Amino acid sequence: MELRTLPKPAQAFVALGANLDDPADQVERAFPELARLPQTQLRARSSLYLTKPVGYTDQPDFINAVALIETTLSPRQLLDQLLAIEQRHGRRREFRNAPRTLDLDLLLYDHLVMHEPGLTLPHPRMHERAFVLAPLLEIAPDCIIPGAGAAATALHRTDASDLRKLAPIPTTLSACP
């Protein structure tokens, strides 16, 4: 009998955001959907944060959070699954930074650095966004962003004055991949 080794799961961080149709509920409903993805387990989730919109500012405030998952899906397969969840939540891409029912961004996938059409890892602007960094640091306080350094240092360089934590943190981890 031949023994086959299973692929080692990758640790991936996913940003969640919404500002339409009861955004806190949209984000909360997305966590179990992440947990139900094939070959994937939800390992940690951050608190919810209320944040001002970035870019196009004539829209409602956002609810943001970050999840840590372990998965044997490839980065592209995972992205496709995230886009499918967005579609189920009624996401429409009318213009850049438009209001949305749910936005799921793949932030980090292990220590992978890659760029291909429609997928860049790490997420190219994550180190500039307090609404990503603060919830990320809740569940991975020692996180290092490949090419950008410590997430904690990046957070200190951002304007987090409009960031407001809404819900207590349910789980934490000590490091990111």
* pLDDT tens per residue across span 124-171: 999 999 999 999 999 999 999 999 999 999 999 999 999 999 956 555
Beta strands in the chain (DSSP E): 10-18, 40-45, 49-51, 62-71, 103-109, 114-116, 119-121, 144-145, 149-150, 164-165
Structure confidence at residue 160 (pLDDT): 93
Helices (H), 4-102: 23-35, 75-88
Is 100 noted as a catalytic residue in this protein?
yes
Catalytic residue among 91, 125, 129, 157: 91
pLDDT surpassing 70 at residue 70: yes
Give kind and range of the element (H or E) at residue 135.
helix 130-139
Catalytic residue among 100, 142, 157, 162: 100
Beta strands in 117-162 (DSSP E): 119-121, 144-145, 149-150
For the chain, give every domain's residue range: 10-165
Q: What tens digit of pLDDT does each residue of 71-100 get? A: 999 999 999 999 999 999 876 777 676 678
Catalytic residue among 43, 61, 105, 162: 105
Structure confidence at residue 129 (pLDDT): 96
Structure confidence at residue 174 (pLDDT): 44
10-165 topology per CATH: Alpha-Beta Plaits (3.30.70)
pLDDT surpassing 60 at residue 58: yes
Across the chain, what does the average pLDDT equal?
90
CA distances from 57 to 28, 60, 61, 161 (A): 24, 8, 9, 16
Is 93 noted as a catalytic residue in this protein?
no
Alpha-carbon gap, residue 117 to 142, rounded angstroms: 30
**What's the CA dihedral at 136, 137, 140, 145 to 10 degrees?**
70
Is 91 noted as a catalytic residue in this protein?
yes
Q: What tens digit of pLDDT does each residue of 9-33 get? A: 999 999 999 999 899 999 999 999 9
Structure confidence at residue 30 (pLDDT): 96
Cβ count within 10 A of residue 105: 17
